[in-house]
Chain A
Amino acid sequence: MTLLDVQNLRVTFDTETGPVEAVRGVSFSLGRERLGIVGESGSGKTMTGRAVLRLIRPPGRIEAEQMIFDGQDLMGASEKEMRALRGKRIGMVMQDPKYSLNPVMTVGDQLTEGLRRRDGLGRRDAEAKALAALDAVQIRDPQRVMEAYPHELSGGMGQRVMIAMMLIPEPDLLIADEPTSALDVTVQAEVLSILDTLVRDRGMGLIFISHDLRLVARFCDRVLVMYKGRVVEELKAQNLLDAQHPYTRGLLNCLPRIGGPRGPLPALDRSGAWAE
């Protein structure tokens, strides 16, 4: 059952020195599964995620042959219809809670804001739902966190709050843009396992955007590898080590490994035609 179908997505920015294409014809479809989008900086992976939610402002523009979410045409939808979708049916978790949580509102206020304004719940009901959401992301003292401000939370805690906030309205699709990149290694593992449980339990679709190929391979069912705005390879996560495309292979091989050889790391060879 296809949740999201994207055909020939293009994102272009009109700068003073001419148009810059961030995404050049990306196509993929997603069911209730986990899709990883991997790429380095400039690959267009973040822009792809933003384009699905039509969060790109001028001078950027989105073009696509088709972008359909659960039967609804995203390209043709009005801004009002998109607003109804965002948050409620498609959620987005971003990289650094320092920048994505409002620093002047308490966590509780931010969690309940959507519920009270969008869904019209009373204060008590909204708070109960918020506490339940914090509990679901395994925060041990949810009441204390409700009253705290974002800067009083650690990185891992902040990211969990972000995830809770996005999951309260119970969206069908979650787009996670580098959700663990700003976190310490040990905390990353915790947050990922929480995300794992939640996505699995609720049968959500997940688009996991990251620069970390190994992380994505472990966490997702399928992986899209992007380079300079295009998808260069699409494969099942378990087949990652059998990747064929020179870029994917190069990316796998250039990483240092504990216990690996100490000679120069094989650098990526960008001379192939695919590097255009």
Chain B
Amino acid sequence: MTTLRAWLQDPSPTSRRQARLGQAWLAWLRIQRNRLAMAGLIIVVLLLLIAAFAPWIAPHDPFVQNLGNRLKPPGTPGYLLGTDDFGRDILTRIIYGSRITLYIIALVAVTAPVLGLLIGTVAGYFGGWIDAVLMRLTDIFLAFPRLILALALVAVLGPGIENAVLAIALTAWPPYARVARAETLTIRNSDYIAAIRLQGATAPRIILGHVVPMCLPSVVIRVTLDMAGVILIAAGLGFLGLGVQPPQPEWGLMISSGRKFLFEQWWVATMPGLAIFIVSLGFNLLGDGLRDVLDPKSAPK
């Protein structure tokens, strides 16, 4: 183990891979020092593990109905978090619901930031009319409240999880474009950009190889902080019946169907609500901690 550590902390790496892993190791050491960020990381990792091992850890089947068991309170033997109005175990449904949550997050995370990053860096690098056109486009999308726009898109495209994800992604990219453009404007006048231009590099090479890597930290941090919002919008769409359809155990959908019983059988809506809260909190804490780690200014000189 110590030889691996030594290899990672070698001041003169002998390959690109070693250099990259060494930097990642140092970043890991840095994030470890931030307790809250570690808490956030643990929550996110737990989410991943629960989603991955759902069939093995869930005590029951998420879809099988058992009307004799309806609305049992938490603590009932065999039903840790109680049952819903169809007699299904809430804990099981939350566990399986984590897969849906993760699916939505992952899809949005690979589409919206990528789109926003490309638009923002191109706008920032070229300036002029390209910048104006792209930024007006961004402004148009930004002007709509996210949930309303997502609603409109889902209404046009029809309900279903893929359409919900598409709707969320299409409304989520503008802030990334803004952030990426702001970073690009700062970076564009740097000496290292001037140097690579002087070497005859073309714009695509400069944008993809030199500008984007510098924008990544801000965008990554933004993504983690946005995750909470994405989960909530997906839950909102589910709540309105426009995203995932029953009997899928999506957390927002569970809250929606539990609304009717909120006062007497509070656990039906509250348990999935707590799950959303914890996961959102986890992403927020992680995002805050990542800011310290990824901020290039805090890198030692």
Complexed CA–CA distance, A48 and B30 (Å): 26
Chain A's nearest CB lies how many Å from the CB of B24?
13
Complexed CA–CA distance, A15 and B33 (Å): 10
A184 at the interface (CB under 8 A from B): no
Please name all residues of chain B whose beta carbon is closer than 8 Å to the beta carbon of A15 when the two chains form the complex. Answer: 300
Number of interface residues of A (CB under 8 A): 3
CB-based nearest B residue for A42:
B301
Please name all residues of chain B whose beta carbon is closer than 8 Å to the beta carbon of A17 when the two chains form the complex. Answer: 9, 26, 29
Complexed CA–CA distance, A17 and B30 (Å): 9
* Number of cross-chain contacts by CB at 8 Å: 9
CB-based nearest A residue for B33:
A16
Chain A's nearest CB lies how many Å from the CB of B284?
23
Complexed CA–CA distance, A16 and B31 (Å): 10
Complexed CA–CA distance, A16 and B9 (Å): 12
| Residues of B22-78 whose CB lies within 8 A of A | 26, 29-30, 32-33
- Mark each residue of chain A from 30 to 67: 1 if its CB lies under 8 Å from any CB of chain B, else 0: 00000000000000000000000000000000000000
CB-based nearest B residue for A20:
B300
Chain A's nearest CB lies how many Å from the CB of B154?
44
- Mark each residue of chain A from 1 to 22: 1 if its CB lies under 8 Å from any CB of chain B, else 0: 0000000000000011100000
Complexed CA–CA distance, A37 and B205 (Å): 47
Please name all residues of chain B whose beta carbon is closer than 8 Å to the beta carbon of A16 when the two chains form the complex. Answer: 26, 29-30, 32-33
CB-based nearest A residue for B301:
A41
Complexed CA–CA distance, A211 and B211 (Å): 34
| Residues of A257-273 whose CB lies within 8 A of B | none
Complexed CA–CA distance, A16 and B34 (Å): 11
- Mark each residue of chain B from 283 to 301: 1 if its CB lies under 8 Å from any CB of chain A, else 0: 0000000000000000010
CB-based nearest A residue for B31:
A16
CB-based nearest B residue for A41:
B301
Complexed CA–CA distance, A17 and B27 (Å): 11
Chain A's nearest CB lies how many Å from the CB of B301?
9
Complexed CA–CA distance, A15 and B29 (Å): 10
Please name all residues of chain A whose beta carbon is closer than 8 Å to the beta carbon of B32 when the two chains form the complex. Answer: 16
CB-based nearest B residue for A13:
B300
Please name all residues of chain A whose beta carbon is closer than 8 Å to the beta carbon of B29 when the two chains form the complex. Answer: 16-17
Please name all residues of chain A whose beta carbon is closer than 8 Å to the beta carbon of B30 when the two chains form the complex. Answer: 16
Complexed CA–CA distance, A17 and B22 (Å): 12
CB-based nearest B residue for A16:
B29
Chain B's nearest CB lies how many Å from the CB of A143?
36
CB-based nearest A residue for B28:
A16
Chain B's nearest CB lies how many Å from the CB of A56?
16
Complexed CA–CA distance, A16 and B298 (Å): 13
Complexed CA–CA distance, A248 and B269 (Å): 75
Chain B's nearest CB lies how many Å from the CB of A44?
15
Chain B's nearest CB lies how many Å from the CB of A154?
22
Chain B's nearest CB lies how many Å from the CB of A230?
21
Chain B's nearest CB lies how many Å from the CB of A45?
16
Complexed CA–CA distance, A17 and B26 (Å): 8
Chain A's nearest CB lies how many Å from the CB of B178?
23
Complexed CA–CA distance, A16 and B23 (Å): 13
Please name all residues of chain A whose beta carbon is closer than 8 Å to the beta carbon of B26 when the two chains form the complex. Answer: 16-17
CB-based nearest A residue for B9:
A17
- Mark each residue of chain A from 172 to 211: 1 if its CB lies under 8 Å from any CB of chain B, else 0: 0000000000000000000000000000000000000000
Complexed CA–CA distance, A16 and B30 (Å): 6
CB-based nearest B residue for A59:
B33
Complexed CA–CA distance, A203 and B29 (Å): 50
Q: A16-B30, A16-B33, A17-B9 are in contact. List 5 more A-B contacts (CB 8 A).
A: A15-B300, A16-B26, A16-B29, A17-B26, A17-B29
Binding site for B on A (CB under 8 A): 15-17
Binding site for A on B (CB under 8 A): 9, 26, 29-30, 32-33, 300
9 contacts between A and B (CB under 8 A): A15-B300, A16-B26, A16-B29, A16-B30, A16-B32, A16-B33, A17-B9, A17-B26, A17-B29
Q: 4 closest Cβ contacts across the A-B interface?
A: A16-B29, A16-B30, A16-B33, A17-B29
